[in-house]
Amino acid sequence: MTGTLVLVRHGQSEWNLKNLFTGWKDPGLTEKGHEEAKEAGRRLKERGFSFDIAFTSVLSRAQATHDHILAALGQDGLETIRDEALNERDYGELSGLNKDDARAKWGEEQVHVWRRSYDVQPPGGESLKDTGARVWPYYLHVIQPHVLRGENVLVTAHGNSLRALMMALDGMSPAQIVEVEIATGVPIVYRLNADSTVASKEVLRD
């Protein structure tokens, strides 16, 4: 019997609220973001979850969300591995810019391409394809073995690093994955088959 993989996007950050490109910059959570993270923990607790190991990025918004979840579960001391492989997509020169200001500078169409294409990089940054190129090997070699050994694994990360991972798990095409939106602070539960394919997927909404 394999274990369970739970993915959670961090709660709302201060820059999400301000409509800024965040990337590898490190703003904290808003008050709403802290509440979203705590609610994620409550939802998991209500369903009887506990974890054997956890993974998160090196960015504080993901780590704070992870901490709230484990506190709700009474697992504050759980072994946690932090790695930049799970960091948000690097937006390069867009990082820290208001999205409306970026549109004014480069044009609506160009900014849309940078945000929503699969393999076009913003200046000095990563495409979603580039993000996947670091997320997928890390998942396959470091995270997935724990799930296949029957462990319950928590991954708290970011919209684009999780989209890249879900693209592989759900077998989505580049055209499909760029349309996917991942809500902040909402756990996504995968149960895997012994051959590492997905047996079931559940989004823990209200």
Instruction: List the catalytic residues.
Output: 10, 88
The strands making up 152-157's β-sheet, listed across from edge to edge, are 80-82, 53-56, 152-157, 4-9, 188-192, 198-203
Q: Are strands 198-203 and 188-192 parallel, antiparallel or unpaired?
A: antiparallel
Neighbours of 88 (CB within 10 A): 28
Please name which of 157, 200, 176, 188 lies closest in space to residue 9, comparing C-alpha atoms. 157
Tokens 């694994």 map to which residue?
153
Q: Are strands 188-192 and 80-82 parallel, antiparallel or unpaired?
A: unpaired
Which element (helix H / strand E) includes 166? helix 159-170
Beta strands in 46-148 (DSSP E): 53-56, 80-82
Task: State the alpha helices, DSSP H only, in 28-59.
Answer: 31-46
Under 8 Å between Cβ of 7 and 162? yes
